Amino acid sequence: MVILTRDYSALPKGELLIGGRRVSTGSLGEVTHIDPTTGATTGTFPVAGKDEVDAAVGAARAAFPAWRKLPAVERRAMLLRLADLIEENGERLAQTGAIENGGPIAFNRRGCVAGPAGWFRYYAGWCDKIEGRQIPIGEGTLDYTIVEPMGVIALLLAFNGPMSFLGFKAAPALAAGNTLVIKPSELASWNVLLFGELCEAAGIPAGVINIVTGDGRTGALLAGQPGIAKISFTGGGGTARAILEIAAKNLTPTAMELGGKSATILFDDCDLNTAVPTAVLPALSLMSGQVCLSGTRLLVQRGIYDEVLERAVAATGSIRQGDPMLDDTQMGPVISKFHQQRVLDVVTAAGARGDGRKLVGGTPLEGEFAAGAFVTPTLFADVAPHSELAQKEIFGPVLSIIPFEDEDEAVAIANNTNLGLAGYVFTENFGRAHRMASRVETGFLSINTYGLLHPAVPFGGIKESGFGREGGHEGLLEFVHVKNVQAKIN
């Protein structure tokens, strides 16, 4: 295994984007970004303070009247041009993604390019289809609705897929006629800054899209800015609670896409040749387990339990872990050395408590990879359903395997969590599959496949996995008001 050399000078400049102006300093200093693969410093970003956040929101508010009044066909043309530019700059976006969050280049070509371009094209098609309705409430009265944009939307993004999150959030918000202030994670800001450049090249007017980099202090200032019409956040529950507390002071509405501890359920009639690799490989290798919808609990019916353990170990051993810039790499590092240690501590503590039996993994990579934040893919068998290992989101390459006897026990174990984002069921029994779809407590469930976040499909969680939906018409409705108009006509 090797680590390719990096050209960090090719990254965009670490600058704020406020009303079309580039701002190179922030009143709260700067933050350094570290390449999680090499441990090298890639550059610095300004940490936006109150003055910069207020200016960004002010610029978005100033741009809002003209943007909302722009003919829908013109707004659509800009979003379609932006989608084209994302594809034209695809390799740069993919390489930048691999540098900033350690996701394999093959994954980033989908997550940074194909996926977001598709989402912008989908929502561009909605620009001239946002309609109200006429309501017959009685003779002599005309009653109708008008669907209006909300205003300035604050987008607070996680590190594990910033370009994807822009597709999920920015595309529908812009299509509906809103303006944006975007705050990327301090762990992955480069591609969001590049996105700002592409928006300018697409002809989107100055002030419609503003970007403020920084850390949690910047996010808190943005969440509390009274000019914000809505906050859309992707991240962890702890940060979400802090945002909600701040937003409550201004009664600012929010949409929250939070964590998961999703169950993948394998019944004894499933096709193991498909089910085991589909259950195991994405949970461990996809962004090194740092994906909220990953099935990090694998529930297996006892009749096939031993065979699944054997197949799971073999599948885990096939994962090619290494430099994310290499085309054949399937799994890179976790996001930082701090997070690497956190995941390793979770593995050690689980073993000490007897939460389960470790089969493989749970170690750092050594040699030339020692400076990076690598954790080998980890399997635990015989995991107790009520244990901390089975209950808490680890956000790393750790898969907990739990046996069950029958359908009722599978449902009880799957629902035994405060989270409810996604779920996966593998069975050849059609009736059972759809019974499970109605019984498992999630916002999203896949049958005999891994979840596909298509732009036309609504996605989101229940319980402590959040509220609001991204994708489809439901995702568009997150960024509009419905006004009712009633008039006497005789």
Q: Is 389:360 a contact under the CB 8 Å cutoff?
A: no
CATH number of 263-455: 3.40.309.10, 3.50.50.60, 3.40.50.9100, 3.90.1150.10?
3.40.309.10
d(CA 394, CA 402) in angstroms, rounded, equals 16
Strand 254-257 and strand 263-266: the pairing is unpaired
User: Residue 226's CB: how many other CB atoms inside 10 A?
Assistant: 9
Instruction: Tell me which amino acid residue 293 is.
Output: L
Entry pTM: 0.96
User: Per DSSP, which regions of 150-292 are E strands?
Assistant: 152-156, 179-183, 209-211, 230-234, 254-257, 263-266
Domain parsing of the chain, residue ranges = 8-258+465-485, 263-455
DSSP 26: -
463 given a catalytic annotation = no
Residue 1 has what pLDDT?
Answer: 64
Q: Is 427:440 a contact under the CB 8 Å cutoff?
A: no
Q: Is 224:249 a contact under the CB 8 Å cutoff?
A: yes
Q: What is the pLDDT tens value at each position of the chain, 490 positions in all?
A: 678 889 999 999 999 999 999 999 999 999 999 999 999 999 999 999 999 999 999 999 999 999 999 999 999 999 999 999 999 999 999 999 999 999 999 999 988 899 999 999 999 999 999 999 999 999 899 999 999 999 999 999 999 999 999 999 999 999 999 999 999 999 999 999 999 999 999 999 999 999 999 999 999 999 999 999 999 999 999 999 999 999 999 999 999 999 999 999 999 999 999 999 999 999 999 999 999 999 999 999 999 999 999 999 999 999 999 999 999 999 999 999 999 999 999 999 999 999 999 999 999 999 999 999 999 999 999 999 999 999 999 999 999 999 999 999 999 999 999 999 999 999 999 999 999 999 999 999 999 999 778 999 999 999 999 999 999 999 999 999 999 999 998 7
d(CA 33, CA 139) in angstroms, rounded, equals 65
Tokens representing residue 443 in the block: 């916002």
pLDDT one-digit tens code per residue, 401-439: 999 999 999 999 999 999 999 999 999 999 999 999 999
Tokens representing residue 403 in the block: 């046996």
Residue 2 has what pLDDT?
Answer: 78
d(CA 378, CA 254) in angstroms, rounded, equals 35
169 given a catalytic annotation = yes
Q: Write down the CATH number for the domain with range 8-258+465-485.
A: 3.40.605.10
Residue 278 has what pLDDT?
Answer: 96
What is the DSSP track for 280-309? HHHHHHGGGG--TT---EEEEEGGGHHHHH
Q: Is 373:330 a contact under the CB 8 Å cutoff?
A: no
d(CA 99, CA 36) in angstroms, rounded, equals 8
Residues of the chain by 3-state class (helix, strand, coil), percent to 5: 40, 20, 40
Residue 112 has what pLDDT?
Answer: 87
366 given a catalytic annotation = no
User: Residue 205's CB: how many other CB atoms inside 10 A?
Assistant: 16
**Of 15, 100, 186, 257, which one is the catalytic site residue?**
257
Phi/psi-derived region of residue 381, left when phi > 0, alpha when psi is between -120 and 50, beta in every other case: beta
Residue 190 has what pLDDT?
Answer: 97
pLDDT one-digit tens code per residue, 159-202: 999 999 999 999 999 999 999 999 999 999 999 999 999 999 99
**Of 292, 393, 464, 478, which one is the catalytic site residue?**
292
Residue 57 has what pLDDT?
Answer: 98
Tokens representing residue 465 in the block: 């996995």
393 given a catalytic annotation = no
**Of 100, 112, 169, 230, which one is the catalytic site residue?**
169
d(CA 264, CA 245) in angstroms, rounded, equals 33
Phi/psi-derived region of residue 34, left when phi > 0, alpha when psi is between -120 and 50, beta in every other case: beta
